[in-house]
Structure 1
Amino acid sequence: MTGAAPDSGAGVDAEEAELTLRVLSALLREDAAGLRTRTTAHDRADGRWLRLADSAGPGALLLPVAPDGFQGAYCARLPLLLRECGAATAEITGLDAVLAALAGRAEPEDRGGFAGVAAECRQALAAARLHAATRDGTAAALTARYGAEPARWTGHAGTLAYDTLAARLDHPVYPASRARAGLTEAELRAYAPEFHPRFALRWLALPYDALTLRGALDPAAAPDPPAAWPAPSTLGLPAALDRTHLALPVHPLTLGGPLDGALRATGLAARAALAPVPYLDVVPTLSMRTVASAADPRLHLKLPLATATLGLRNRRTVKPATLADGATVQRLLEAVVRREPRFRETVLHADETAYAHAGHDLLAALCRRQPAGLDGALVVPLAALLAPAPGGGLVADHLADRWYGGDPLALLDGLLTPLFDFQTTLFGYGVALESHQQNVSLVLDQPGRTAGGRPRVRLLFKDDDGPRIHHARLRAALGPDAPGPGDFADPRTLCDGDAPVADVFATITVHLCAGAYAFGLARHGRAPLAALLALVRDRLAGAVARLGTGPGEPGAVLRAHVLTAGHLPVKAMVTSGTLMSKERSGAADINKHYTTGPNYLRAAAPGPRPGTVPYPSTGWNR
């Protein structure tokens, strides 16, 4: 190819240009419209281009790319496409136009999915622009409430401030992560974590005989409900309901049509009573559907929302089965820690055994209790580490300055060492958790508790539903303490081999909780990428070496599937979440549908060969 290089996307603002780059990179990674398997590479003076020919004619689309190395071999280099028009080319700019051009090259049955992606991207773009317009005001509000130094936002209340910063940061994999389907700007400002609002919950009194109750919400197990739980009469309802009904918290966004439909579907419309009095001021956490009590931030309530994030099929309701399975996995983790006592000093866990539901995704609530005794500690969700902080720099910079002498490598080391120790030990039991950046927090205590004045580092886990468990390996390790098939409502949880467990380990623990920080810190110029990746590789290799390394043993499996594999599984979230139907994608679980990418953990990982688009795009959809 010859000719002048195009501009970087004239006529689009910074937010649209950035989102276009992320979307094109994701679609390339996931082989949408054949961007990986039907393209040929061409080099020109300004860099590499991938040419997608048009089988119906002489024209083609051209995508400008650059080497990536994290989730894909290549990423988009400019926020545009070129369309060949004979010997000339014409630029396609603007996200809608770019997606429309790609939809025209997709299979007819997938074109509706491109329309869904475009709609989701419009919502994400509006949110990104809103975030940019409110950045300074939000930072000022946080510092006014929590203090000027983010590295001193302590306790579970401080976590809510970090959640606000994390909510303004893009997801490492999903390009339109800021979109929340169907919500208006006013609703986002009133209820979304990036605005750090406070609001009161609504409550619905439901008859006890229609509810499944567990833990502290079960009168048979705990005569007194949690302290913040109101009786129906406290909420302005008749006192007679105190004996027959439980008040179930309802998110204000679920009122109206969604709640009415759920009550009709369960036959409870005539027996339920919506309380007239709002009760319990709360602050949204990063997940938005989970809120924390403003008066007691240890208390979290996970409540259904009639919206979707990270894909239009990824509804933010609360499936009753996930509540029971999460409690089962919590008990499983407690059994592992009893057998591995060193984790009593490094791993903390929220209590998620109390829940209630009426057999419907919109009539459910999880009552989570965070661990006590952390008022003086920093409790930082991993999702916030690379977020811009008030006063400049990243959250990670402020933590490194306070705790590690300004060394971001030391901070990352402090995270990776306990993370890999725990997660590889779980893999040895046949378990891989869906413990991504939102579900793991870094807990730092005051310095001086460990040698050299470094802080004590612990990890806090929550949200245990959705793991993958190699049942035979778990049964061999735990014996009678191992849950069986009848203990899980989701039949996908238990599997017969290591591969699905290794996939979750790679895509969650390695990519999202380790690799994302190596590439992110390098992108921000905090340390050389080679040094950051060497740290990730060395700490993981050390943890793997503590497992059995004989044929078929856990250490050998992780070494082969992760450390030395030619490629690694990568979440294909756009494909499974919005772009394709489950019938088309073959995704049994939209959160565990994979493509592949380069293995950045190999000591001498080869780069892309000239003229090729390396690494297969299929083969990991187990």
Structure 2
Amino acid sequence: MNPTPAPDEPKADGLSSTPVRGRDQGQDPAHVPRSVARVTVPRQPASSLDEQVATAMDPPAGLPAEDHLDHPDPSRAADAATVENLLRCWVRENNLPRPGGSVLRIPLDASGNALLVPVRYWSATGWHRFGMPLLESAPQDAPAADAVTVAALLGRESGRHQGADLVGRVANSVAHTADFITDRRRHPDAAQGADLFLTAEQSLLLGHPLHPTPKSREGLSEAEARLYSPELRGSFPLHWMAVDRSVLATDSAWTEQGRVVPADHLTTRLLGDLPLPEHTVPLPLHPWQARELRHRPAVTELLDAGLLHDLGPHGAPWQPTSSVRTVHCSGAPAMLKLSLGVRITNSRRENLRKELHRGVEVHRLLRSGLAKEWQAAHPAFDIVRDPAWLAVDTPDGEAVSGLDVMLRHNPFAPGDDAVCIAALTAPRPYPGRAGVYSRLAEIISRLAAHTGRPTGAVAAEWFLRYLDHVVRPVLWLDGTAGIALEAHQQNTLVVLDAHGWPVGGRYRDNQGYYFRESHRPSLQRRLPGIGSASDTFVSDEVTDERFAYYLGINNVFGLIGAFGAQDLADERVLIAAFRQFLSNASELGSPLPGQLLEAPTLRCKANLLTRLHGLDELVGPVDTQSVYVTITNPLRH
């Protein structure tokens, strides 16, 4: 592969010119930012953060030494992790209160039974830790209920007709998770690669802790999973098609040295020395997708007409990132977001044409001057840009689904420590160390040892720096421009310095933007015609609901829950810190701080119910793609 020269676009756009490690790289790890001094915990007067943490924390409850995620049988560990996910989903989606004792009883009226669930840790923000459940009516020596049994019981209890589908996907997710744990336990050293970004992307072995089937991938054989799974450190050459220019659909705002580079010029560089038929351009595809597409009538017709040529696999290996379908090659200036018709979690992951338009549109919007404003306020945060794409139409001008690619800037050098929050908090097998152990736990433990400060105080400071470097810039964008980001934990990356402190952040996803309807006039002044092809304007009411979920509940509450469940901090301390941060962030103009501080309840995405309703989250209007439920707001509880 002949690598493309690094684009100079980021320098022109301002934000991306910030070094990925941030300007505080050399900061003293013992330094406490100003915002830490402002944190107060109700009814716990103290003169310093360390004292606040010490006085606010109860004596540690002490999780049992034997964690079922450490079970020597990977299948048992995977099953236990999935059971916990199912139970966490059920507790959240039914807004169940904390039990009075150490056992949670979940009535199963439809089955005339109940689940008795040992509570190992109860989280104010939803990241509970549970032991393996027993059926109340089962004999005393009966084994615990496994994931498939729990899924079948909860599906029946919900009364939804997709219960059988849920059971199948749960079994699929458990099987994949067991393979991932087996491989990582056998080859732990292989996980520590020289490319820190890629290492983080390949570390989510268990997946979303509040999803019933986080590792379900219907359509992949065992051999294909080995090649295409980031958790197994898969790699593969791209599969190439040559597309006749008469049926090519494309757009590009990718620039080098001040000039726009067409998307097909970029893919030609990636293709290298493979010759092309006359009047065609190269289109990279995921190998699985290339095989599947040959069975689609529209693609067959293009091949038969000589408008599409199958060039086969070619070039250097690419590695899947945490989304499975976005691929990365160390040193390449672009990542590729490929269509992949595999049903991953809830959706078939094929690019929609409006999403391709959206990525380029957001890049142009930021270049219109918005990026410079944002850089002035928050120089260490940026959006990972999606400035170019290629796709195929029929001769009649109809979009051919699944035959496309989005070209994404790759701003990360191999030594840049940029990690998505999902990977940071994910439990992982760690040879020789019992209990849940994550990258977050490793960082906090190392910082506590280095600084000589209590673990809880270090965790609180880390959390506050994260709010300042990652959450505050996202609130600024909403308040200033009326753009809310779908900043859930997998879309949000924190940039860490050499010590592990947060010094910056990045957002990625050409799908996840909400342009507020109330800001339509100002956004159209910034970029005339905005939203016409991308379908990105959303009512403020829906935007408020989704922004509160993705940034508030999924991202920040999820991070707080990880700190608590992994015995790194008292959740009450971090909730108090977040409450005070939001009070000070109201000046940014986003309605989210006030909403989170004042609302007694919040609307929350229900991943289990979404699955039981049989919804594909990439299909249909944005306000009906997922099921939302009402939960108690932990900031007010």
Letter in 2 for 1:132: I
247-256 or 392-401, which deviates more: 392-401
Q: 1:547 aligns with which of 588, 602, 623?
A: 588
Deviation at 1:293, TM superposition (A): 2.0
For the residue of structure 2 that corresponds to 1:174, the secondary structure is coil
Deviation at 1:586, TM superposition (A): 10
Contact 2:240–2:314 at 8 Å: present in 1 too? yes
Letter in 2 for 1:245: T
Report the counterpart of residue 357 of structure 1 in structure 2: 391
CA–CA distance in structure 2, aligned partners of residues 516 and 341 of structure 1: 27
Do structure 1's residue 461 and structure 2's residue 503 form an aligned pair?
no
Report the counterpart of residue 571 of structure 1 in structure 2: 605
Note closer, same or farther for the CA distance 1:260–1:502 as it changes in structure 2 (3 Å cut). same
CA–CA distance in structure 1, aligned partners of residues 179 and 210 of structure 2: 21
CA–CA distance in structure 2, aligned partners of residues 434 and 471 of structure 1: 16
Note closer, same or farther for the CA distance 1:228–1:53 as it changes in structure 2 (3 Å cut). closer
CA–CA distance in structure 1, aligned partners of residues 529 and 381 of structure 2: 25
Report the counterpart of residue 133 of structure 2 in structure 1: 79
Contact 1:20–1:80 at 8 Å: present in 2 too? no
Q: 1:437 aligns with which of 471, 480, 489?
A: 489
Note closer, same or farther for the CA distance 1:415–1:298 as it changes in structure 2 (3 Å cut). farther
Deviation at 1:600, TM superposition (A): 1.5
Note closer, same or farther for the CA distance 1:138–1:436 as it changes in structure 2 (3 Å cut). farther
Note closer, same or farther for the CA distance 1:42–1:199 as it changes in structure 2 (3 Å cut). closer
Q: Show the 5 A alignment for 1:538-617.
A: 538-544=580-586, 546-548=587-589, 554=590, 557-580=591-614, 592-602=626-636, 605=637
Note closer, same or farther for the CA distance 1:75–1:587 as it changes in structure 2 (3 Å cut). farther
Contact 2:230–2:322 at 8 Å: present in 1 too? yes
Letter in 1 for 2:494: L
Do structure 1's residue 528 and structure 2's residue 570 form an aligned pair?
yes
Note closer, same or farther for the CA distance 1:91–1:197 as it changes in structure 2 (3 Å cut). closer
Report the counterpart of residue 477 of structure 2 in structure 1: 426
Report the counterpart of residue 315 of structure 1 in structure 2: 348
CA–CA distance in structure 2, aligned partners of residues 342 and 184 of structure 1: 49
Q: 1:127 aligns with which of 147, 171, 176?
A: 176
Do structure 1's residue 244 and structure 2's residue 279 form an aligned pair?
yes
TM-superposition CA deviations, 1:436-494 (whole Å, max 9, x none)? 222222223468xxxxxx96812122213232222223535x5611565752433xx32
CA–CA distance in structure 1, aligned partners of residues 507 and 424 of structure 2: 16
TM-superposition CA deviations, 1:496-544 (whole Å, max 9, x none)? 33x2222222211122221111111111111112122222222233222
CA–CA distance in structure 1, aligned partners of residues 183 and 366 of structure 2: 41
Report the counterpart of residue 158 of structure 1 in structure 2: 196
Do structure 1's residue 203 and structure 2's residue 236 form an aligned pair?
no
Q: 2:208 aligns with which of 164, 171, 180?
A: 171
Letter in 1 for 2:510: D
Contact 2:560–2:571 at 8 Å: present in 1 too? yes
Deviation at 1:224, TM superposition (A): 8.5
Report the counterpart of residue 224 of structure 2 in structure 1: 187
CA–CA distance in structure 2, aligned partners of residues 49 and 455 of structure 1: 40
Letter in 2 for 1:364: D
For the residue of structure 2 that corresponds to 1:282, the secondary structure is strand
Unaligned segments of structure 1, at least 5 residues? 1-7, 147-156, 448-453, 549-553, 606-622
For the residue of structure 1 that corresponds to 2:243, the secondary structure is strand
Contact 2:125–2:634 at 8 Å: present in 1 too? no
CA–CA distance in structure 2, aligned partners of residues 177 and 441 of structure 1: 19
For the residue of structure 1 that corresponds to 2:404, the secondary structure is strand
CA–CA distance in structure 1, aligned partners of residues 539 and 148 of structure 2: 44
Report the counterpart of residue 78 of structure 2 in structure 1: 15
Letter in 2 for 1:350: V
Note closer, same or farther for the CA distance 1:73–1:349 as it changes in structure 2 (3 Å cut). closer
Deviation at 1:323, TM superposition (A): 0.7
CA–CA distance in structure 1, aligned partners of residues 270 and 128 of structure 2: 57
Report the counterpart of residue 116 of structure 1 in structure 2: 165
Q: 1:416 aligns with which of 461, 464, 467?
A: 467
Note closer, same or farther for the CA distance 1:325–1:269 as it changes in structure 2 (3 Å cut). farther
Report the counterpart of residue 268 of structure 2 in structure 1: 229
Do structure 1's residue 494 and structure 2's residue 542 form an aligned pair?
no
Note closer, same or farther for the CA distance 1:590–1:192 as it changes in structure 2 (3 Å cut). farther
Note closer, same or farther for the CA distance 1:206–1:216 as it changes in structure 2 (3 Å cut). farther
Q: 2:318 aligns with which of 241, 266, 282?
A: 282
Report the counterpart of residue 257 of structure 1 in structure 2: 292
For the residue of structure 1 that corresponds to 2:467, the secondary structure is helix
Note closer, same or farther for the CA distance 1:456–1:168 as it changes in structure 2 (3 Å cut). closer
CA–CA distance in structure 1, aligned partners of residues 584 and 229 of structure 2: 40
For the residue of structure 2 that corresponds to 1:533, the secondary structure is helix
Deviation at 1:226, TM superposition (A): 4.9
Unaligned segments of structure 2, at least 5 residues? 1-66, 393-398, 452-457
Note closer, same or farther for the CA distance 1:284–1:188 as it changes in structure 2 (3 Å cut). same
Note closer, same or farther for the CA distance 1:371–1:515 as it changes in structure 2 (3 Å cut). same
Q: Show the 5 A alignment for 1:34-53.
A: 47-53=103-109
CA–CA distance in structure 2, aligned partners of residues 511 and 102 of structure 1: 23
Letter in 1 for 2:176: A
207-216 or 68-77, which deviates more: 68-77
Q: 2:438 aligns with which of 367, 381, 394?
A: 394
Note closer, same or farther for the CA distance 1:376–1:123 as it changes in structure 2 (3 Å cut). closer
Deviation at 1:352, TM superposition (A): 0.9
CA–CA distance in structure 2, aligned partners of residues 233 and 208 of structure 1: 19
Once superposed, what is the RMSD of the aligned Cα atoms? Answer: 3.8
Name the TM-score, length of structure 1 as normaliser.
0.77
For the residue of structure 1 that corresponds to 2:510, the secondary structure is coil
Deviation at 1:246, TM superposition (A): 1.0
Note closer, same or farther for the CA distance 1:560–1:98 as it changes in structure 2 (3 Å cut). same
Letter in 1 for 2:201: D
Q: Show the 5 A alignment for 1:323-338.
A: 323-334=356-367, 335-338=369-372
Report the counterpart of residue 154 of structure 1 in structure 2: none
Do structure 1's residue 213 and structure 2's residue 250 form an aligned pair?
yes
514-523 or 457-466, which deviates more: 457-466
Report the counterpart of residue 30 of structure 1 in structure 2: 93
CA–CA distance in structure 2, aligned partners of residues 573 and 348 of structure 1: 28
CA–CA distance in structure 1, aligned partners of residues 580 and 216 of structure 2: 37
Q: Which has the higher contact order (CA 8 A, sep 6+)?
A: 2
Contact 1:50–1:65 at 8 Å: present in 2 too? no
Report the counterpart of residue 470 of structure 1 in structure 2: 516
Contact 1:140–1:390 at 8 Å: present in 2 too? no
Size of the aligned set, in residue pairs, is 542
Deviation at 1:53, TM superposition (A): 3.0
Contact 1:577–1:590 at 8 Å: present in 2 too? no
CA–CA distance in structure 2, aligned partners of residues 203 and 559 of structure 1: 47
Note closer, same or farther for the CA distance 1:317–1:421 as it changes in structure 2 (3 Å cut). same
Contact 1:379–1:441 at 8 Å: present in 2 too? yes
Report the counterpart of residue 99 of structure 1 in structure 2: 151
CA–CA distance in structure 2, aligned partners of residues 587 and 212 of structure 1: 24
Note closer, same or farther for the CA distance 1:211–1:413 as it changes in structure 2 (3 Å cut). same
Q: 2:376 aligns with which of 332, 342, 346?
A: 342
Percent identity over the alignment is 23
Report the counterpart of residue 293 of structure 1 in structure 2: 329
Q: 1:380 aligns with which of 412, 416, 419?
A: 419
Deviation at 1:193, TM superposition (A): 0.5
Deviation at 1:14, TM superposition (A): 3.2
